[in-house]
Chains A and B, each alone.
Chain A
Amino acid sequence: MKILVAYKRVVDYNVRIQVKPDGSGVVTEGVKLSPNPFDEIALEEALRLRDKGIATEVVVATIAPADAQAHLRNGLAMGANRAIHVVTDQPVQPLAAARTLLRLVEKEQPDLVILGKQAIDDDANQTGQMLATLWGRPQATFASKVEVAAGKATVTREVDAGLETLEVDLPAVVTTDLRLNEPRFIKLPDIMKAKSKPLETLQLAELGVQAGAELKTTTYAPPAKRSKGVMVKDAAELVAALKQKGLL
């Protein structure tokens, strides 16, 4: 069984994002970039399925500018067998990302595609659902547990009401939630090994993907600030302050 993992590079989750004063974007110059945390979980899950002997090959894919090679090497160091780099200078919106991933799915014929539930830059939470739709295959989003056997996946999903379980026929699309697993750390020898693993490069322009109706971002603004409030010294003062605000 082959697993394709969508592995996006994003601004590291520890970076405090600043909106540029002229509202034209956020400051990305010189900030730390890392794999999307949900995508590391996606890769870890694929690797665990391979460790268990259920999967035989794990392929990581990213759609990103030419300088994202190191990012893919990171995925290879974590343990992926191969990497595919779809090169484009432009950011891709979810529909274009899903259409591009569909091209890779057609080429690779994976039994399972695992994506993050959301990229923590655009926070869109769309690509996996769109890929499943375009592919005409099942989706199991926000997974906190995945079991694969006999051509099926049983997936536990984190939903607002609790934990929902679905059974889907393979091939299928799964998107990860935070509690699915804890990604492994990369060891130094693995970084060396990753250097000789296959990394295929494709030009997005040559895949014939139509971007579809794109959203145009016109302005960026910082969020409304909450002002610092008062400090109280004990429980009685807290209750008094709540009463004063009419909350009790």
Chain B
Amino acid sequence: MANKVLVVAEHLDGKLNASTARTVSAAQALSPDAIDIVVLAADPSAVAAQAAQIGGVSRVLAVANPANAHALAQVLGPQVAQLAAGYSHVFGPSTTFGKDLMPVVAALLGVNQVSDLMAVEGSHTFKRPIYAGNAIITVEAPAGQAVVATVRTASWPEAAGGGNAAVEATSADVALPSHTRWIGLAAGGSDRPDLQSARRVVSGGRGVGSEENFRIVYSLADKLGAAVGASRAAVDAGYCPNEMQVGQTGKIIAPELYVAIGISGAIQHLTGIKDAGTIVAINKDPEAAIFEVADIGLVGDLFQLLPELEKALGDA
């Protein structure tokens, strides 16, 4: 059977999320006969135009429906499942958007999902992490059935641009539920780089001590042009909002440079930064586990070291 991949686009406020181009990369690894992207929105035109520019994409299917104004999994799922007919693979990003939606598609197609796909070994053979990344398994999906997967975005680069795919208006003729109403989104609204796509990330942990003190983390990040992340302990303690959490149950990221400040290096945190290019750790405890994985370690008090570091960077 020919391999054809349907990629579900993630977008917000008319902007295509970079996770979509990463998901296309994973699709390209299958060397398929075609990669199509489906955009579901109230008005998909702007996002579809952005999706059409991703290299290697054959068609962009634009599904306009007022019900698609917000990404409600039980509303989008039946549409994607219907449009999946004729595709051998249906991929979405393993962001909260894809994690919410893709299992709905899988259930409708009667298959188990390949979660957090990190490598393609064959058309139906993939690698994925389990146990917080402590084991990597090779899984085989049954032949002759659609493969539904979420793509671990940190494992894949954004596919190159320069594409010029045809945009086709499409609709899915399925009954959509009205049992779910979208009330609102409270976004952190920072003008710092996006944590999931930033080249540099500075993260603070419990060691930072308070929401107030987190200022020095933001300040270093601004100096480096970096996004800001946090450990679960820092988020739980209310030092910063939930969307900043990095790790097994937060965001899995792969920046060029990751700076961990006052973070001990619990396995659940390390899972989120395994693919970082260079890890720098600043911690007052020389025995902290973070130093086991750090490329550059500095032992000392963060309240003394961060101002010094900023100064040294200023001279740099």
Contacts and interface: CB of A to CB of B under 8 A. Distances in A.
What's the interface size class on A, roughly? 35 or more
A169 to B, nearest CB: 4
A245 B278 contact: yes
B138 A226 contact: no
What secondary structure prevails in chain B residues at the interface with A?
mixed
A223 to B, nearest CB: 6
A4 interface: no
Interface string A144-183: 1000000000100111111111111100100001110000
Interface string B71-85: 011100100000000
A107 interface: no
A132 to B, nearest CB: 6
A164 B188 CA distance: 11
B243 interface: yes
Contact of B316 (A17, A166, A213, A243): A243
A120 B236 CA distance: 19
B110 interface: yes
B106 A130 contact: yes
Q: Which of B107, B134, B136, B180 has the most CB of A within 10 A?
A: B107
What's the interface size class on B, roughly? 35 or more
A99 to B, nearest CB: 9
Contact of B103 (A120, A129, A157, A230): A129
Interface string B101-124: 101101110111111100000000
A168 B182 CA distance: 9
A166 B181 contact: yes
A163 B134 CA distance: 29
B145 to A, nearest CB: 5
Given A123-B132, A126-B113, A213-B110, A165 B184 contact: yes
Given A226-B295, A234-B305, 14 more contacts: A17-B135, A19-B135, A26-B135, A139-B180, A158-B242, A164-B184, A168-B180, A228-B292, A231-B298, A232-B296, A239-B309, A242-B278, A245-B278, A247-B277
25 contacts: A98-B107, A118-B249, A123-B115, A123-B129, A124-B115, A126-B115, A136-B177, A139-B73, A141-B100, A142-B99, A159-B97, A160-B251, A168-B179, A169-B180, A212-B112, A215-B142, A218-B125, A219-B138, A220-B136, A223-B135, A228-B292, A229-B297, A235-B309, A235-B311, A247-B257
